[in-house]
Structure 1
């Protein structure tokens, strides 16, 4: 049973440390900035790929520090993402982040993670995070592709209309919920099947 508690973070209000400037570091930095482009991210690594540099160049709040990790890098950090090919370094850093009570994600090492970075589907303001409890990123990716395909492209228009409708509905909370449920029921019943 997946006992993870799903949450959406306002990363723009946090200081993120990403340890690793290689392929996995690039993947993690890309995911962070696609979802929260104004996030303050410090990337620390002895070697930083050109693609990481290019991406950082497009985001003024990304800072590159080209050297080995030092414990002082954890000072004033809210979230740590470890993305190197050095499991011993990850374990050492994780011990320190636990003592400092800093939430940490460790690439491909579920037992060291406080949180997982889910597979994300986004269309306008609608965002869906998919978790397999760290067991199968491949399945999460396939589900992301599926949902991206079946969610209508005009979902933002639907969301904008629902905001207006919600503001106009009178009555108590329960009455509003019932009316909104009645209005949106058609979205599910009328959704085109994949075969049509």
Structure 2
């Protein structure tokens, strides 16, 4: 059973550190910026791949630091993503993050991770996270593709309409929840 607790984080209001500027670092940075273009991210690496450099130049909230990682790089960050080819460095960073009560993700090493980056489906304001508990990112990717095709293009309009209805509802909280459940059920009944 997948016991991971899914959350959505306001990445522009916290600070994220990525250690490693190669392909994996690029992949992690791209995933963050695709979902949170205003994310505050620092990437520390001895070298940076061209793809990462090209991506970072369009995001003023991304800082690149070209030098070897130092434990003091963890200062003032909330989340750390390890993306180098040094398992030993990742273990050291993970241990220090645990001491500091920081969340850490170590690429391709689920036992060292506090969290995983899942596949994400976005249609306007609707965002769906998909996790396979670290077992098969490929299946998560396929599920994302399936859901992107399955969700109607009118999803944002539906969300805007439902927000308008929610804002106009009268009654106590329980009554509003019941009314919204009835209305959203009608949306799905029309699909059948």
- For the criterion TM > 0.5, the same-fold answer is yes
Residue 188 of structure 1 and its aligned partner are, at CA, apart by 2.2
**CA-to-partner distance for each residue in 1:70-122, whole Å, 9 max, x for gaps?**
11101111110011111111111111111111100111111000111111000
User: Over aligned residue pairs, what C-alpha RMSD do you find?
Assistant: 1.0
The list of structure 1 runs, each at least 4 consecutive aligned residues, that deviate by more than 6 angstroms after superposition, is none
2:86 pairs with 1:83: no
Other-structure match for 1:3: 3
Other-structure match for 1:103: 103
Other-structure match for 2:170: 170
**What CA distance in whole angstroms lies between the structure 2 residues aligned with 1:42 and 1:36?**
14
- Structure 1 length as normaliser, TM-score? 0.95
- Structure 2 length as normaliser, TM-score? 0.97
**What CA distance in whole angstroms lies between the structure 2 residues aligned with 1:58 and 1:89?**
29
Other-structure match for 2:25: 25
The 5-angstrom pairing of residues 31-70 of structure 1 reads 31-70=31-70
The 5-angstrom pairing of residues 103-182 of structure 1 reads 103-182=103-182
| Matched residue SS, 1:8 | coil
Aligned residues: 192
Q: What are structure 1's unaligned runs of at least 5 residues? A: none
